[in-house]
Structure 1
Amino acid sequence: MKVLVVGGGGREHALCWALSGSALLTKLWCAPGNAGIAEVAECVPIGAEDVPALVDFARAQGVELVVAGPEAPLTLGLADACAAAGLRCFGPSAAAARLEGSKSFTKAVADAAGVPTAAWARFEDPAAARRHLRERGAPIVVKADGLAAGKGVVVAETLAEAEAAIAEIMESRVHGAAGASVVIEECLRGEEVSFFALCDGETALPLGAAQDHKRVGEGDTGPNTGGMGAYSPPPAFTPALQAQVMAEIVRPTLAEMARRGTPFRGVLFAGLMLTGQGPKLIEFNVRFGDPECQALMLRLRSDLLAALLAACDGELGDFDLRWDERPSLVVVMAARGYPGAYAKGTEIRGLERAAAVPGVQVFQAGTARRADGAVVATGGRVLGIAARGETLPAARQAAYAAVDAIDWPEGFCRRDIAHRALPGGGR
């Protein structure tokens, strides 16, 4: 089977790595890919958001499955364009992708489906938003309503922080059009967990859970990022909690989306807060998480390609997934300055040494290969150093041993990934 993966980050490297081991695969492309992906797939210089060019390429090459990695091409209608061209696409339609493209849409769906979530309100007028803040008080959460690459969320501990977030998002438009409106939410407290389900429009199959680390600094300090590391499975997310989430959040959402005439097919990523009142929905995403995908792919024992095909063909009711019970962990190495301004083009050495550490798989995100063969950093989050171990401390030790084998002075990472799951923060 010929497959095209769309995207060029660590998530897409993990997907390509997993797909490359499928007995069903005959040819694998990735657009646009990166230096690491080029080791397992043929990279194609087409941007992930260039939907017409992606569809033209897929038709010309006889691609039998298009796999969307990031959310942007889905919200732009990649699955719809593929369907119109007679191509199979793993990922939701643009209408269903609104679950990520609009936070207020997700909240409305959750309310209609009876899904437990934080109290919320949407505003297009900054003055009205500020009045609401003063009525509600802090702590409170301010979110850009549209897509903001995981950075349009401010958990404000004070009213001053919340009002500053309104100014940045709605008036300064630091996230562009995503900040035309905001969603202001009740601040939930508890353990945050990322849960994934494979969906075919009617049936949902659990894909497992991970815990991400969004803050840039150790001890969960500093600004939010796209993710500085993750581990799977989180001990706090028990089998009983998974069953509860499927029954109270995932399946009701699937039913509501089908009722609206926009059935959801693809990966449904539920950002959850495990509160004292039970699990509550923070937000939905419509694709694999990054870096959670790297941790999950290390634990998946089933054929990923067969699973994606079953989701596309409405056959998940007869499908099952096998998982490695051993935990996995991924440490993100980012360019110094991220999530602010950072230098590009710095050389990364020692990747082979890192990959030689037992249990380790190095996933590349923002990388390119120079004409002389050197790998250089081209993005903010650049590497995902993933490891699997008999225990979580063993996986963590292997991942950081691989980090220490890499020679990249211009890079940095958090040294406390999985601290919530380990005694004393893992130190």
Structure 2
Amino acid sequence: MSDTVMLIGSGTREHKMAKALNASPHVGKIIWAPGNAGAYSLDKVVKGLDYNQLKNPGDYLALAKEAGVQFATTGMEQYLFQGMADTFRDNGIRFFGPGIIGAELERQKAIAKCYLTEWGVPTADFGIFASAEKAGTHVFSEPPDKYVKVSGPALGKGALHARNSTEAMAAIYRAKKEFGDSAKLLVIEDTMLGTEASDHVFMNTRPPEGRNPVLLRQKLSKDYKRVGEIYRKDAAGGMVAKGDVGDQTGGMAAYSVPSFCTEEVSRNVHDRILLPIFSGLMDRGIEYCGVMYTALMIDNRGNPRVVEINVRPGSPESEVSDDGKDVYEVMNGVIDGTIEPGDAGLVKKFTIGIVLVSGPVDGRPGYPDPNYKKGYPIEGLDEIDEDVGVLLGGVMSPDGGKTHITSGGRVMMLVASDEDPKKAKAKVLANAESVRYPNKYYRDDVAYEEGA
């Protein structure tokens, strides 16, 4: 018997999840709300429903009951912050994602940093401040080079780098002005040196009685958050520094597995980061059933430190993970505590993904500025190679999937794999050129660390 599943979200991350659910023999129908134009190519996704009135977990629950949903999940952190997982579970619907208490690990960076300290997890030295004045006193009494972070939700844009005390003061007042309630508390931390990486785990700290807790890893990946390129190719084909790397975004590109993430590094992440967090949650009696995505900084000796914790799959990092297992079986196995230890999916080849965004055009700024221009027809999707994954995000279709129009900042993601990083990158960039809309922009320096 196949289940009716509700998937909540509308980005490239959810398009990948919708494809995976569509391929599962255990899934009969998918309510993808609000979804995007990618739904039209998936036969199990129910079409024609109106999702415009869905504003909160209660609204989604009402639709789930009406549609006979047995299982639900989301990649949208704001709904987890509002207790969506608890709302569904309390009404007898299985839900993959942490409850409102577990979601505090992402909703409030100040809480997460205090937990990390309590559990002995390596992270940057930090201070927590409610007032701009006390935060300012702190930055002028400390060594320079800090990150000023809003404690509350900021859509991945609440970390401001300050190279000196003057920049730190400007960042403090900018954060207070731009982020409102999310900036009631500020976390000011030392800048960590190293290379960033991302780790995803499937976790269940409180399985059914008689079952073992679950900690199931995916492979490490690396993402790129800045909108601008760190490097570009010169006329001779060499890589030269480009300088300004621009504003923080929700994510511009990712690849897996980075060569610097050796077996030793992976073991260090497991032993020093994941196990203490896992044990700490259980010791505190915090139920956590879902994906945890940990942003890491790896130093030149292979020692990891936590940059931040996220309580849902990262995007674009999760889009470059392997599809080797039935994701519906994996999620249910985590909930039931029946899944075997090991990896959730084995990345067999080097996998790279780049995000095509709505860039500057006609004097208008591009993403991540909220005033980017949208509504452009997209051409060339039918020219993309069959072995290149197409994950739609900010894309709508007014005619059931026949034509496509940009409707968001992160328009789509293209994903390619190959044993050779250079070939994988060449493949994804060549296909990015096939896609056409007037303000298309993407980073082409992805995986330069791998010689690609």
Q: TM-score, normalised by structure 2?
A: 0.89
Alpha carbons 2:296, 2:308 under 8 Å: kept: yes
How many angstroms does 1:273 deviate by? 0.3
Alpha carbons 2:216, 2:341 under 8 Å: kept: no
1:197–1:157: structure 2 CA closer, same or farther, 3 Å change rule? same
Matched, 1:360 2:388: yes
How many angstroms does 1:392 deviate by? 1.5
Map of 2:427 onto structure 1 = 398
Return the match for 1:185 from 180, 185, 189. 189
How many angstroms does 1:322 deviate by? 4.1
Tell me the SS of whatever aligns to 1:92.
coil
Map of 2:377 onto structure 1 = 347
Alpha carbons 2:256, 2:347 under 8 Å: kept: no
Map of 1:78 onto structure 2 = 84
Map of 1:144 onto structure 2 = 150
1:98–1:17: structure 2 CA closer, same or farther, 3 Å change rule? same
Return the match for 1:328 from 351, 355, 361. 351
Map of 2:93 onto structure 1 = 87
Deviations 1:7-66 (A, max 9, x none): 000100011112211121111121100001332223554367521111111122221210
Alpha carbons 2:218, 2:346 under 8 Å: kept: no
Map of 1:415 onto structure 2 = 444
Q: Distance in 1 between matches of 2:358 and 2:60?
A: 29
1:412–1:300: structure 2 CA closer, same or farther, 3 Å change rule? same
Map of 2:210 onto structure 1 = none
Matched, 1:243 2:263: no
Return the match for 1:285 from 293, 296, 310. 310
Q: Distance in 2 between matches of 1:38 and 1:105?
A: 41
Tell me the SS of whatever aligns to 2:250.
coil
Q: Distance in 1 between matches of 2:313 and 2:344?
A: 16
1:246–1:21: structure 2 CA closer, same or farther, 3 Å change rule? same
Return the match for 1:46 from 45, 48, 51. 51
How many angstroms does 1:358 deviate by? 4.4
Q: TM-score, normalised by structure 1?
A: 0.94
Deviations 1:293-332 (A, max 9, x none): 2111xx2211111001111122235575342411111110
Aligned pairs for 1:361-380 (under 5 A) are: 361-371=389-399, 373-380=402-409
Q: Distance in 1 between matches of 2:337 and 2:367?
A: 41
1:243–1:274: structure 2 CA closer, same or farther, 3 Å change rule? same
Matched, 1:197 2:221: no
Matched, 1:66 2:72: yes
Aligned pairs for 1:260-271 (under 5 A) are: 260-271=284-295
Map of 2:240 onto structure 1 = none
Map of 1:259 onto structure 2 = 283
Q: Distance in 1 between matches of 2:55 and 2:151?
A: 20
Write the letter of the residue equivalent to 1:120. Answer: F
1:281–1:319: structure 2 CA closer, same or farther, 3 Å change rule? closer
Structure 1: unaligned runs, 5 residues or longer: none
Q: Distance in 2 between matches of 1:45 and 1:390?
A: 43
Write the letter of the residue equivalent to 2:123. Answer: T
1:93–1:49: structure 2 CA closer, same or farther, 3 Å change rule? farther
Tell me the SS of whatever aligns to 2:286.
coil
Q: Distance in 1 between matches of 2:287 and 2:388?
A: 38
Map of 2:411 onto structure 1 = 382
How many angstroms does 1:397 deviate by? 1.0
Alpha carbons 1:200, 1:315 under 8 Å: kept: no
Alpha carbons 1:369, 1:375 under 8 Å: kept: yes
Alpha carbons 1:46, 1:54 under 8 Å: kept: no
Return the match for 1:210 from 200, 207, 221. 221
Write the letter of the residue equivalent to 2:318. Answer: C
How many angstroms does 1:125 deviate by? 0.2
- Structure 1: which 4+ aligned runs deviate by more than 4 Å? 317-320
Q: Distance in 2 between matches of 1:159 and 1:244?
A: 34
Tell me the SS of whatever aligns to 1:227.
strand
Deviations 1:113-148 (A, max 9, x none): 111111111111000001111111321111010110
Write the letter of the residue equivalent to 2:333. Answer: A
Q: Distance in 2 between matches of 1:316 and 1:185?
A: 38
Structure 2: unaligned runs, 5 residues or longer: 206-212, 232-244, 360-365
Map of 1:294 onto structure 2 = 319
Return the match for 1:30 from 18, 32, 37. 32
Q: Distance in 1 between matches of 2:40 and 2:274?
A: 35
Q: Distance in 2 between matches of 1:59 and 1:365?
A: 27
Matched, 1:175 2:199: no
How many angstroms does 1:261 deviate by? 2.1
Alpha carbons 1:49, 1:72 under 8 Å: kept: no
Q: Distance in 2 between matches of 1:419 and 1:99?
A: 32
How many angstroms does 1:159 deviate by? 2.1
Write the letter of the residue equivalent to 1:272. Answer: L
* C-alpha RMSD of the superposition: 1.6
